[in-house]
Amino acid sequence: MDFVLAVAQNAPGRGRMFVRQLVQSDSHQDAAEQTESPEEELYPGHIRTTPLQKALLGVGSTLMALYSPARDDMVAVNGEVTGMLALPWMHRKMLEDAEGQQILREKPKLNSYTVDLDALRSLPEGTLGRAYTQFLDVNGVSPDTRLPVRFVDDPELAYVMQRYREAHDLMHTVLGMNTKLVGEVAVKWVEGLQTGLPMCLGGALMAPIRFRPKQRKDYVTRVLPWALKNGFKGKFILNAYFEKRWSQDLNDFRKEFNIQEPPSA
């Protein structure tokens, strides 16, 4: 509940008032439930929330993400509490694929502690692993910045969300998109269409409002059609066991997953 209150405190204007009212209306019921049937966390860091609290978090995190798009923590929370329908669907997509099944069994993690990034940097040019580290280095990002999942009330689905989150930079790599606004929107379209996560689709729809005229023209004429085609026709990329594919040629990976070459600059 402290986190919910924090969302309320940081939400702008009337949004803050709305969020705080919802917190107050739910606080007595929440306290009673905790007194009657205390439950252990389902996985490390898990925070159990009621449906109303999830709705509250969805509203608060949406308001904050719109007010301050750089708030990755709000985007992460929004993805978790609004993904109740998408996550089971993503899980089924992984169960339907042999490689996806292996990922769910072994539950690998993507970070600098589990992946030897220096070894990937030494791979031949054009391989998936080399391209991944080049993306990290050129864009100044780290695989260690992905927040842990907390609000998903199922350990298996929590892992699916965590895997999606940790694979985001690899999605950029495979699609050939940088971390600038147009690149992020393109990736969000592909992620949203492949996963059904409302957070991705909402970001893809809302973020172009911030485009400058030149960006908007390029986006509408080249980037958006390309992203939609990859989102609809591409193979489900979360079924890629990236850790076993580092030496694979990136172009071969794209062909296997039916991903078109990125539009030329």
Reported as a pLDDT band with limits 50, 70 and 90, residue 264 is: confident
* Nearest Cα to Cα of residue 222 among 189, 182, 183, 263: 263
Q: Report if residue 74 sits inside a domain.
A: yes
Q: Report if residue 9 sits inside a domain.
A: no
Domain with 82 in it: 51-257
Reported as a pLDDT band with limits 50, 70 and 90, residue 37 is: very low
Q: Report if residue 225 sits inside a domain.
A: yes
Residue 81 confidence (pLDDT): 95
Q: Report if residue 41 sits inside a domain.
A: no
Residue 39 confidence (pLDDT): 61
Residue 111 confidence (pLDDT): 96
Residue with more model confidence, 169 or 4 = 169
Contact 151, 81 (CB under 8 A): yes
Q: Which residues are annotated as a binding site?
A: 168-169, 172, 184
Q: Is the pLDDT of residue 17 over 60?
A: no
Residue 265 confidence (pLDDT): 56
Strand-pairing partners, residue 249, are 127
Q: Report if residue 253 sits inside a domain.
A: yes
Q: Which residues are annotated as a binding site for Zn(2+)?
A: 168-169, 172, 184
Reported as a pLDDT band with limits 50, 70 and 90, residue 14 is: very low
DSSP string across 228-257: HHHHHHS--GGG--GGG-TTSBHHHHHHHT
Residue with more model confidence, 133 or 18 = 133
Strand-pairing partners, residue 127, are 249
Q: Report if residue 94 sits inside a domain.
A: yes
Q: What contacts 97, CB < 8 A, 6 or more positions away?
A: 236, 239
For the chain, the domain total comes to 1
What confidence tens digit (pLDDT) does each residue in 168-177 have? 999 999 999 9
Count Cβ atoms within 10 A of the Cβ of residue 163 and give its class: 0-12 exposed, 13-18 middle, 19 or more buried: buried
Residue 89 confidence (pLDDT): 97
Q: Is the pLDDT of residue 136 over 80?
A: yes
C-alpha distance from residue 177 to each of 22, 143, 180, 204, 265 (Å): 39, 16, 8, 14, 11
Residue type for 80, please?
E
Q: Is the pLDDT of residue 138 over 50?
A: yes
Q: Report if residue 29 sits inside a domain.
A: no
Averaged over 146-165, what is the pLDDT?
97
Q: Report if residue 116 sits inside a domain.
A: yes
CA dihedral over 149, 75, 198, 34, signed as positive or negative: positive
